[in-house]
Amino acid sequence: MLTIRAATESDVPLLRTLIRELAEYERELEFVAVSEADLLRDGFGAHPKFRALIAEWDDQSAGYALFFGFYSTWEGRPGLFLEDLFVRPQFRCRGIGKALLASVARLAQQQNCYGIRWEVLDWNQPAIELYQSMGGTFLDHWRSVLLKDEALRQLADKGGLGCVAGEESSQVRWLVVAAGEEGFRSAIGDSRTSTRSGSVLRMD
């Protein structure tokens, strides 16, 4: 029997284990740096940066979804970004991935979100077909961009590069928002390659 519940502080060790299993499934375990302390601070501290759902099958941990909010200036409404969706191999083909995504969709509707965004590996045909069957729209004309590590530091160190109307260049302030992770990794289907394409599921 399937149960889906909100993750709590006590689930931090499990979350880290599932994250590592996802990374191992995608053959990128060596790139996972997140610690239990990171997850505890950023998911269950005074100002949470993400939320997570845990799927259990007959009281066994079967998978998880991890997501966070963003804002659409075109829609004038918030949305949810699905960072991770993972089902353990021994629990697949039971509808758990779809149930997790449906649970995130219900939360999005409750919070008046315009939709859910995530990314899927371009070779993962089972996942792509699942998302298409749900009514997901693939944003093939968009390309994901990631700025991190030394490139991020170099850009941050450069400061203002010119004048903004009505201001001297010395008064220009930069706001750099950069992702520290690679984005959503979908593991409903097979293993991975490095190329992803975005998709969105609208709520209206």
Estimate to the nearest angstrom the gap between the alpha carbon of 91 and the chain centroid.
21
Residue of 1, 32, 2 lying closest to 17 (CA atoms): 32
> Is pLDDT of 20 > 80?
yes
Look up tokens 């293993």; give the residue.
191
Task: Report whether 52 contacts 15 (CB < 8 A).
Answer: yes
Task: Report whether 66 contacts 118 (CB < 8 A).
Answer: no
What is the count of structural domains for the chain? 2
Which of 12-21, 47-56, 86-95, 166-175 has the lowest average pLDDT? 166-175
Beta strands 51-57 and 60-72, pairing class: antiparallel
User: Which residue range is the domain that position 46 belongs to?
Assistant: 2-144+182-202
Clarify whether residues 50 and 35 are in a common domain: yes
Residue type, 42: D
Confidence of residue 195 (pLDDT cuts 50, 70, 90): very low
Q: How many whole angstroms separate alpha carbon 116 and alpha carbon 109? A: 10
Clarify whether residues 135 and 156 are in a common domain: no
Clarify whether residues 89 and 169 are in a common domain: no
Task: Report whether 192 contacts 27 (CB < 8 A).
Answer: yes
Q: How many whole angstroms separate alpha carbon 112 and alpha carbon 47? A: 21
Clarify whether residues 64 and 111 are in a common domain: yes
Residue with the larger pLDDT of the pair 167 and 155: 155
Confidence of residue 146 (pLDDT cuts 50, 70, 90): very high
> Is pLDDT of 167 > 80?
no
Clarify whether residues 167 and 196 are in a common domain: no
pLDDT for 165: 54
Instruction: Say which DSSP state 140 is in.
Output: T
What is the set of active-site residues?
Answer: 131
Residue of 62, 129, 130 lying closest to 98 (CA atoms): 130
Look up tokens 């928002």; give the residue.
177
Q: Angle at which helices 36-44 and 12-25 pack, to 10 degrees?
A: 120
Clarify whether residues 163 and 84 are in a common domain: no
Clarify whether residues 49 and 99 are in a common domain: yes
Task: Report whether 189 contacts 180 (CB < 8 A).
Answer: no
| 33-76 pLDDT tens trace | 999 999 999 999 999 999 999 999 999 999 999 999 999 999 99
Q: Is 68 helix (H, G, I), strand (E, B) or coil?
A: strand
Clarify whether residues 19 and 88 are in a common domain: yes
